[in-house]
């Protein structure tokens, strides 16, 4: 997939100070993760199940 044309959006779990911004995109069949300060740099592509597990873990820690 052309990641430059993917719809990237800031994760709702990014920090509020403006310094820790993570963007995610649906790169079917994977989920893309990148640093919003370097949108043309490298990104991670993780399996959907791994991403769902990560998000579930983050949610548990916020309770």
Model confidence over 46-62: pLDDT tens digits? Answer: 999 999 999 899 888 87
Distance CA 14, CA 12 (A): 6
Give pLDDT, residue 6: 87
pTM: 0.74
**DSSP letter for each residue of 2-62:** -TTTS--EE-TTS-TTSSS-EEEEEETTEEEEEETT-TTS--EEEEHHHHHHHHHHHHHHH
Domain extents in the chain: 9-62
Mark the ranges of the chain whose per-residue pLDDT is less than 50.
none
């Amino acid at each position: 997939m052309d990641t430059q044309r993917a719809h990237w959006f800031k994760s709702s779990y990014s920090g509020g100070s403006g310094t820790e911004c993570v963007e995610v995109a649906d790169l079917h069949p994977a989920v893309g993760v990148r640093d919003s300060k370097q949108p043309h740099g490298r990104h991670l592509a993780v399996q959907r199940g791994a991403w769902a597990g990560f998000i579930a873990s983050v949610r548990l820690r916020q309770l």
